[in-house]
């Protein structure tokens, strides 16, 4: 049987309230008493039961993190940012994978709330109606990390993907390209449909270039699918000269397609993408990319959440973090 606060109290000849005070750093304890209690705690190997504490105090010092897939480095990196700030503020993290399935997301949200998390960080592509209403009834703060949701009143932390996409495509246009293919992730995702694609189109239109429907190539966001899609790109009516990829995994798929087919980057095709992983730097040629500050997205989200959990006033709950572009060898 585990040692309880009663055992310590008996051993130290004080009441459990006093032990509780010592454990929680309450100042109203005589130094001598504190010392005595501390010794007993040490001697008995007492370890406070966080569950009992949680029930009594209605705080669990635990936050929920619902992530599409932790095995994807995008989310793994982001989660690390969350975790580090959580540690800093002494929170634990309950981590669950949703695979972006709306029903699963709702289940997990319910589940986490049932576990009495003090707050929650949610990541996904788009917010289903069910999840929205579920979130609305939650009685703890929820932050959307790297997830569109400014239309709700939920706090969010993001980068300006549309502007970043615009800047990336603009770069290719400035390099003289007039026919740029956009190899995208699934259109079902808001971030692709409402941000990256929009930025791409804005840059193309603004430059007075024609917008070919066939230049829009959708993938399932995997390396292998992108690799396959090269065979589609090479058969296009209009011959493109540059590629704007939704992320580096896609970009590398296309890049390898291009090169395995005997073409050269950046001579035959220039390539630019969003960077989520080491891949951009590890391939040859290294990819020019928009660097997404994943770790920071997570860290800032968690920091925001701590403020919210603390009831602190937050002036702007829709945070936009800066990104930057790094020119490497896949563009000239």
Residues that bind DNA (CB under 7 A): 1-2, 4-6, 13-18, 20-21, 23-24, 27-30, 32-34, 46-49, 52-53, 55-58
CB of 76 to a second copy, least distance (A): 4
Contacts of 101 (CB under 8 A, 6+ apart): none
Q: Which is nearer to a second copy, 52 or 150 (CB)?
A: 52
Contacts of 38 (CB under 8 A, 6+ apart): 22
C-alpha dihedral (191, 156, 115, 65), degrees to nearest 10? 50
| CA 246 from centre of chain | 16
DSSP string, 52-102: HHHHHHS--SEEEEEES-TTSHHHHHHHHHHHHHHHHTT-EEEEEE-TT-H
Place of tokens 């459990």: 16
Q: Which is nearer to a second copy, 195 or 292 (CB)?
A: 292
Instruction: Count the neighbouring beta carbons within 10 Å of the beta carbon of residue 162.
Output: 18
What does the per-residue mask of binding to a second copy show for 57-86, with x meaning CB under 8 A? ---x-x------xxxxx--xx-xx--xx--
Does position 223 interact with a second copy (CB under 8 A)? The reply is yes
CB of 113 to DNA, least distance (A): 11
Q: Which does 113 bind (CB under 5 to 8 A by kind): DNA, a second copy, none?
A: a second copy
Q: Give the count of alpha carbons within 13 A of 170, CB side only.
A: 13
Q: Which is nearer to DNA, 56 or 267 (CB)?
A: 56
Q: Which does 23 bind (CB under 5 to 8 A by kind): DNA, a second copy, none?
A: DNA
Does position 252 interact with a second copy (CB under 8 A)? The reply is yes
Tell me which residues touch a second copy (CB under 8 A): 2, 45, 47-52, 54-55, 60, 62, 69-73, 76-77, 79-80, 83-84, 87, 92-97, 110-116, 137, 139, 223, 249, 252-253, 256, 259-260, 278-279, 281-284, 295
């Amino acid at each position: 049987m585990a040692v309880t606060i009663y055992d310590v109290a008996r051993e130290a000849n004080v009441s459990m309230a006093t032990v509780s005070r010592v454990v929680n750093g309450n100042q109203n304890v005589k130094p001598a008493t504190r010392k005595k209690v501390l010794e007993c705690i040490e001697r008995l190997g007492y370890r406070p039961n966080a569950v009992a504490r949680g029930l009594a105090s209605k705080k669990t010092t635990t936050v929920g993190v619902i992530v599409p897939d932790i095995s994807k480095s995008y989310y793994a990196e982001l989660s690390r940012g969350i975790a580090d700030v959580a540690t800093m503020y002494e929170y634990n993290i309950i981590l669950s994978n949703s695979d972006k399935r709306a029903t699963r997301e709702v289940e997990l949200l319910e589940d986490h709330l049932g576990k009495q998390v003090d707050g929650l960080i949610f990541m996904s592509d788009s917010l289903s109606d069910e999840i929205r209403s579920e979130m609305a009834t939650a009685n703890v703060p929820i932050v959307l990390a790297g997830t569109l949701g400014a239309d709700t009143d939920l706090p969010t932390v993001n980068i300006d993907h549309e502007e970043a996409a615009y800047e990336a495509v603009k770069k290719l246009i400035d390099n003289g390209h007039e026919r740029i293919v956009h190899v995208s992730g699934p259109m079902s995702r808001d971030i692709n449909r409402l941000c990256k694609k929009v930025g791409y189109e804005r840059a193309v239109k603004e430059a007075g270039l024609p917008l070919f429907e066939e230049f829009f190539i959708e993938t399932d966001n995997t390396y292998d699918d992108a690799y396959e899609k090269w065979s589609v790109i090479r058969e296009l009516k209009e011959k493109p000269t540059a590629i704007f990829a939704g992320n580096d995994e896609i970009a590398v798929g296309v890049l390898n397609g291009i090169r395995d087919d005997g073409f050269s980057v950046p001579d035959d095709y220039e390539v630019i993408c969003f960077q989520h992983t080491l891949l951009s730097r590890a391939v040859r040629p290294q990819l020019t990319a928009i660097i997404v500050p994943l770790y920071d997205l997570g860290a800032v989200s968690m920091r925001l959440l701590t403020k919210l959990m603390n009831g602190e006033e937050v002036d702007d709950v829709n945070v936009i973090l800066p990104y930057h572009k790094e020119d490497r060898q896949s563009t000239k």
